[in-house]
Amino acid sequence: MSKNKISSSKFDKYLQEEEFFLKDKKKYRKQRKQKSKLDRSKYKKTDLQKQKKVLPKTNHFKKGLVLSIFGEEINVRFNKKHFRCSLRGLLKKEKTKNKNILAVGDRVFITIKNDQGVIEDIEPRVSILSRTDEKRKKQSIIAVNIDQVLITSSIDQPRFKPFLIDRYIIATHKGNMHPIILINKIDLLKKLKLKEKQKFQNFIKIYKKLGYKILALSFKEKVGLNSLLKVMKNKTSVFSGQSGTGKSSLINAVLHTKLKTGSLIKKTYKGAHITTKSELVEIKTGGFCIDTPGIKSFGIWDLKIEDIKDYFFEFKKFKNCKYENCLHLEEPNCKIKEALDKKKISSLRFDSYRSLIKEAIDKKRTSNYE
């Protein structure tokens, strides 16, 4: 039998010995490394990945929309009907950086038998609203395939938090969505102290100048509800924000739904977690909205230190800092700090930026020791 007809696998060890005597040792090491990677990649593609890759979108698959998820129970809408679905076994076994495989708003392929559905595959997402799950160090997906995030805050009870709004704005831009700021409980403005009123008015002035749409609302006094319904029409919107700001109450007031709502804890004026799951609601005039559980803190997923400044768009006018990698903190000849001193950048926005930078630096330092 000629050498040409013998399988190459039998000659692998001899070829490797010949390669060992290459004159260029660096080139040899590079080749060995590449070859090793190729060998390992054969085993990286598990049966799970192979089966998922060849999964056909046959005619018996129905394309549905995930309305809500509660434990193992997934509510999917197909052809104006609702079906209880479970995840295909292979999808459950997938290992990703995400805390949850599926999210409200996902477009899925399902099979239906005896009014029970199985989710066979998930369509690629066009947008994602997510946050960091600090305990598991994973991405917690709140909702997907959204047009706009209605960042819901309150003027008081719970306290107005501009820095939290900035975190939502960044997550919204990062996830390919449009942010709209809702300030609920505007009826409490008259009860605020003068200093707090001025802070609030300053916020409105700054963020409107930056081009952000702001709606002042009161579900209690029915203020701004028509404006809210107008921005929601023919869009998929997600209400997201701090607990107790009145997300569910606003949805109920605008869409005449009966989502569960709660009252504030009197001692702290903070909201209790009444909404425990995200839920997609259809709007009769067109579009959808998603109610989400309230949060106390919001960590932005996969936000790199060097990228933070890019989400503070007003910084882009002031370039040519002395150092190319300037973080605009303590560095000399910083154009951003100069603009801040000349009041061309608001101190509110800069303080928000600085808090994000310092948090990111602390996280990086901590992860290096883990």
CB atoms within 10 A of CB 245: 26
Contact residues for 280 (Cβ-Cβ < 8 A; gap 6+):
65, 66, 67, 68, 104, 105, 143, 288, 289, 290
Question: Quick one: three-class SS letters along 250-294?
Answer: HHHHHHCCCCCCCCEECCCCEECCCCCCCEEEECCCCEEEEECCC
**How buried is residue 161: exposed, middle or buried, by Cβ count under 10 Å (0-12/13-18/19+)?**
middle
Contact residues for 145 (Cβ-Cβ < 8 A; gap 6+):
105, 106, 107, 125, 126, 127, 236
CA torsion 331-334-339-345 (nearest 10°) is -60
Amino acid at 306: E
* Residue 233 per-residue DSSP state: T
CA torsion 39-42-46-50 (nearest 10°) is 170
Q: How far apart are CA 142 and CA 128, in angstroms?
A: 8
Q: How far apart are CA 45 and CA 186, in angstroms?
A: 55
pLDDT tens by residue, the chain, 370 residues: 444 444 444 434 433 333 434 445 556 566 666 655 554 444 444 444 444 444 555 567 899 999 999 888 899 999 989 999 999 877 776 667 888 899 999 999 999 988 889 999 999 999 999 999 877 688 999 999 999 999 999 999 899 999 999 999 999 999 999 999 999 999 999 999 999 999 999 999 999 999 999 999 998 899 999 999 999 999 999 999 998 899 999 999 999 888 877 554 444 444 444 445 788 999 998 999 999 887 777 889 989 999 999 999 999 999 889 998 899 999 999 999 999 999 999 999 999 999 999 999 988 887 765 5
Residue 20 pLDDT? 38
CB-based contact 157:264 (threshold 8 Å): yes
**CATH class held by domain 62-122:** mainly beta
Residue 30 pLDDT? 63
Instruction: Characterize 212-238 residue by residue with b for buried, 16 or more Cβ atoms within 10 angstroms of its Cβ, and e for exposed.
Output: beebbbbbeeebbbeebeebbeebbbb
The pair of three-digit structure tokens given for residue 140, joined into one six-digit string: 């917690």
**For 307, what's the count of Cα atoms within 13 Å in the CB-facing half-sphere?**
9
CB-based contact 272:243 (threshold 8 Å): yes
The pair of three-digit structure tokens given for residue 261, joined into one six-digit string: 């709502």
Residue 204 pLDDT? 97
Of 228, 154, 165, 153, the C-alpha closest to 192 is 154
Q: What are the extents of the domains in the chain?
A: 9-44, 62-122, 144-291, 305-369
Topology (CATH) of 144-291: Rossmann fold (3.40.50)
The CATH-assigned architecture of domain 305-369 is Orthogonal Bundle (1.10)
